[in-house]
Amino acid sequence: MKRFFKENWLVIVTGVVVGLAALLLQALGNPKNMGFCIACFERDIAGALGLHSAAVVQYVRPEVIGIVLGSCIMALIGKEFRAQAGSSPATRFAVGALVMIGALVFLGCPLRMLLRMGGGDLNAFVGLLGFVIGAIIGTVFLKKGFNLGRAYQAKKTEGFVLPVIMLVLFALALLVPTLFNASEKGPGSMHAPVLVAFAVALVVGALAQRSRLCMAGGVRDTVMLKDPHLLWGSVAIFVVVLVGNLIMGNFTAFSFLSQPIAHSNHIWNLLGMVIVGWGSVLLGGCPLRQLVLAGSGNGDSAVTVLGMMGGAALAHNLKLASGADPGVNEAGAYVKYAVTTNAKVAVAIAFVVLLVISLCNILRKKEA
């Protein structure tokens, strides 16, 4: 046991802090079961910038900005800031967009999946199954030689591009908020105080940079290397959120129905997260990890983050994103959300594109 904690204490502490941060931000105004959600928050920023017109999900989320800047600061302190780029940026942009589309079909990234699980949402356990399946598929391709190519050292200014963009965005949101769209109702209108959310996210970003916390990486390493080290961070998040919800009275019972900002269309919950797991492994990290890497100077991860925001815009402009279950109707029957035909087609296309990318990048390595 002593050896276990010696080897895993940092990633466990990071998971505990992330769980506590999510509970705090939820208590201070963030939507239920959404104290932290990288996909949802990037989607909100995309809406605030006018990239999509879904009025209920538009807000410059300081959590995303804080994670990038917290990671950047910690990387600089630890002398781990490495400006690099050139590892198939266009492919990473495309896969990032597909990961976002999958996440919005499910209604959450891997981090929100854990938060929903801790809030009693059984639909998130279906999503977990899909995420693990997808991550295993991606890992199989890694074992067969999948590789997006090496990244090359770049000018230091290249590594600071996304952190500077985030810093400017935060300053403008504070000083000239009328520049951006802002939801007056719906999830986008629900948020913790800006400076509190930003400060909390700085801590999360710094710890995530140091611990390498990554949900997709945990599955990948367990399958490939028989090393569950990173998984313990995810376990810690779930346990802390579950216990915290029980203490705060936010937890009633495990259920598929009437969960906050969730739907109970199981097959699409599962398939959406298969895309997220598969794509995240191909990219080398989940959406949270991509923000952290981008803050640490990785230009390819910065492109991936931009791809995710582009995917969010597509998802809402083309009606690919899911909505919450309407719930009980006037007749007393429970009504589930009906996933759009557009979303179903998009999921099918995403599977084909991920398969093509996976196969082509194995062939490219063999030819090299």
Q: Is the confidence at residue 367, as pLDDT, over 70?
A: no
Range of the domain at 131: 2-367
SS3 250: coil
Q: What is the DSSP string of 241-255?
A: HHHHHHHHT-----B
CA dist 268 → 102, 194, 231, 265, 271 (Å):
9, 33, 25, 6, 5
Position 309 pLDDT exceeds 60: yes
Q: What mean pLDDT value characterizes the chain?
A: 96
Q: Is the pLDDT of residue 50 over 90?
A: yes
Helices 266-283 & 287-295 angle (0-180, nearest 10) = 30
User: What's residue 363's pLDDT?
Assistant: 62
User: For the packed helices 287-295 and 38-48, what is the interaxial angle rounded to 10 degrees?
Assistant: 70
- This prediction's pTM: 0.96
- In this structure, what token pair is assigned to residue 326? 């309407």
Residue range 98-110: mean pLDDT, rounded: 98
Tokens 């506590």, residue located: 20
Which residues have C-beta within 8 Å of that of residue 320, sequence separation ≥ 6?
Answer: 101, 104, 105, 314, 340, 342, 343, 346
Q: Between β-strands 334-335 and 152-153, what pairing exists: parallel, antiparallel or unpaired?
A: unpaired
- Please write the tens of the pLDDT for every residue from 271-295: 999 999 999 999 999 999 999 999 9
Residues 6+ apart with CB under 8 A from 314: 97, 101, 320
Average of per-residue pLDDT across 236-256: 94
Q: How confident is the model at residue 252 (pLDDT cuts 50, 70, 90)?
A: confident
Number of domains in the chain: 1
Answer whether residue 98 shows pLDDT above 70.
yes
Q: With 90 as the cut, is the pLDDT of residue 227 above it?
A: yes
> What is the distance in angstroms between the CA of the first residue and the CA of the last residue of the chain?
45
Contacts of 9 (CB under 8 A, 6+ apart): none
